[in-house]
Amino acid sequence: MSTTKSTPPILLDGFESIIAISGTDAGAFLQGQTTNDASALTTGNSQFGALCNPKGRVITLYYLLLKDDIFYMIVPSTLCPNITKRLTMFVFRSDVKIKDVSSQFSILGNIHEINTMADKNIFAEINIKEQPRLSFVIKDKVSHTESSNSSISNWSSTLISTGIPRITEATSEAFIPQMLNLDVLNGISFTKGCYTGQEVVARLHYKGTVKRRMYIFSSALLIDSGTDLLIDGNTNSSGTVVECSKQSDSTYTGTVVFKVDDFSTTPIPLCELGDITLKLSPYSLETES
């Protein structure tokens, strides 16, 4: 048995939502919409990926679970209505039903480990990262006290520190998946068939160079998601903030899509925003062609 001390699970209701995709054509439908290979998903397992627009820009990131012939997709709550509506637009005559089922479940963020087998209310667990262990725990809806801003901030900071991106309304349709490091986070299949935005994503993989990558940054200021960052003295943006969260009373941490050529581990002076310090995410950015 692991002796790792666990942080109590963090209630994410209202922060993350769940969409159910069901019907005999659900798998084929998702295969044409998602960057990952939905057809390879087996029951009880999950995968990470993105929904893109025709220009290959990420509308949302998702975690997809298959259970009892139904696909469950976790997406940020602020994007859920738009995602539900958008997916429904592409159903046409397929046997596919799409429904926001967030009212039926509670979602918790699990840092380290909890004994899921001991709780009969556990519906499923979706792994995000192995080391340190991060996961979403989906439970039957039960009464909970509302999540505090501090606990949500703790969850966000943990995702940031492990280099896991999260898209919000401010950054939806701003980035190509590789800019968010999805190609090294197992969030893209380059062997599956066509999907919305696939041509752009595949062309960058096989014929292009990823000129912007996602890094972790620290700052003395809270910088809003979607903010363009200009290095002092430059007139063109070097990067765009993906997410930012409070780390301590005097520091903030975040993720930023930044020009690879401008990356530096020494403090970078920004126009009107003070300095930021960048560091690599804790995984290799090397990819296989």
Segment 30-56, tens digit of pLDDT: 999 999 999 999 999 999 999 999 999
**pLDDT tops 50 at residue 67:** yes
121: Cβ contacts below 8 Å, ≥ 6 apart: 139, 140, 142
Do 150 and 44 meet the contact criterion of CB atoms below 8 Å apart? no
Do 166 and 50 meet the contact criterion of CB atoms below 8 Å apart? no
> Strands (DSSP E) along 2-121, which ranges?
7-11, 16-22, 46-52, 58-67, 70-76, 97-100, 105-111
> How is residue 118 written in tokens?
């001991």
Domains of the chain with bracketed CATH: 10-162 (3.30.70.1400), 177-279 (2.40.30.160)
> How is residue 177 written in tokens?
């998946």
Q: What is the pLDDT of residues 232-277, one digit of tens each?
A: 999 999 999 999 999 888 899 999 999 999 999 999 999 999 999 9
Instruction: Please tell me the predicted confidence (pLDDT) of residue 118.
Output: 57
At residue 4 the predicted structure's pLDDT band, cuts being 50, 70 and 90, is: very low
Instruction: Please tell me the predicted confidence (pLDDT) of residue 202.
Output: 97
Instruction: Please tell me the predicted confidence (pLDDT) of residue 260.
Output: 97
